[in-house]
Amino acid sequence: MRPQFLNFGDEVIAAIAQDMNKNGYACIPGFLNEQQLAQLREQVATEANIHNGQYFAHHGDTALAGSLLVSLKAAPELQSLLQEVYRQGAGQTAPSSEIFPVLRCVQGDSGRRESNCFHFDATLVTALVPVEIPQEGKENERGHLLVFPNLRRVRSNVLINVAEKALVQNAFSRKLISLGIVLRLLRPQRLQLVPGNLYLFWGYRSLHANEPCNPAFRRATAIFHYGDPHAGSLLTSLILTINQHRARRASQVGDHQPV
């Protein structure tokens, strides 16, 4: 089950980080084999029925106990990939080597509300594996990943990070950004995700969201978050507690991480 092919040398890791810097993302094709993809799709189908065809997101090891995602995140190859990519990006090792897994499914009308939810991740490295991506319908209703890459650097002061996130991650700003995109005043990168590939980008530095999906189709992604540059700060711990409360009420995108 382990992704053996992820035993990358220093040069490959450097090239991945360079792609993330220059192009906004790096892609490792065929991260999952057919069997693994089928297994995750089966999990998504079961959960999708339980959630009556509506949006859901499972955050963390406990919620994902028994899922393939937990075995994948335990693979030393994935751990060292994320660790090295972080080091290339931040110039130092991550304060915590914890990988935070998420399984997210956009479907139904509630899925629309969870789309265009632009945010900066709390973690520097975001590794995303598409599980199911709509292949039919209008081009702007297939849940592509919208990314404004590398808009900011890692902030040395956690307060600046919190202020920037507060400025962007609210209903008004998100509506404004979506309008800007419709009017073509803003032009994010539109990644047409291929199931089974691994996409890496600087989630902390890049404003991103999924484009809406036709409610009739299902869009599922597995996400591995790695390396919170502000881990351990008092404010981070406080916000983590608040977010955990909120996450219990609603499984919101981008809010499952500390800051």
The footprint of Fe ion (CB under 5 A) covers 121, 254
Which residue is at the shortest CB distance from ligand AKG? 221
Rounded CA separation 78/196 (Å): 15
The token pair that represents 170 in the structure block = 């609210």
Contact status: 102 vs ligand AKG (CB under 6 A): yes
Residue 94 touches which of ligand AKG, Fe ion, none (CB < 5 to 8 A by kind)?
none
CB of 126: closest distance to Fe ion in angstroms? 6
Which residue is at the shortest CB distance from Fe ion? 121
* H-run or E-run covering 177: helix 171-182
Residue 144 touches which of Fe ion, ligand AKG, none (CB < 5 to 8 A by kind)?
none
**Cβ neighbour number for residue 185 with a 10 Å cutoff:** 9
Contact status: 233 vs ligand AKG (CB under 6 A): no
* Nearest CB to ligand AKG, comparing residues 13 and 119: 119
Q: Which of 177, 189, 169 is nearest to 239 (CA)?
A: 169
Rounded CA separation 134/214 (Å): 8
The rounded radius of gyration (Å) of the Cα atoms in the chain is 17
Contact status: 81 vs ligand AKG (CB under 6 A): no
From the list 13, 94, 223, 259, which residue makes contact with ligand AKG (rule: CB under 6 A)? 223
CB of 78: closest distance to ligand AKG in angstroms? 17
Rounded CA separation 225/223 (Å): 6
> Tokens 């994010």 appear where?
188
> Tokens 């594996």 appear where?
129
From the list 68, 82, 145, 147, which residue makes contact with ligand AKG (rule: CB under 6 A)? 145
Residue count at the site for ligand AKG (CB under 6 A)? 11
Residue 102 touches which of Fe ion, ligand AKG, none (CB < 5 to 8 A by kind)?
ligand AKG
* H-run or E-run covering 129: strand 125-132
From the list 84, 121, 141, 228, which residue makes contact with ligand AKG (rule: CB under 6 A)? 121
Contact status: 178 vs ligand AKG (CB under 6 A): no
Name the residue type at position 155: R
**Cβ neighbour number for residue 16 with a 10 Å cutoff:** 21
Using CB under 6 A, list all residues that contact ligand AKG. 102, 104, 121, 128, 145, 208, 210, 221, 223, 253-254
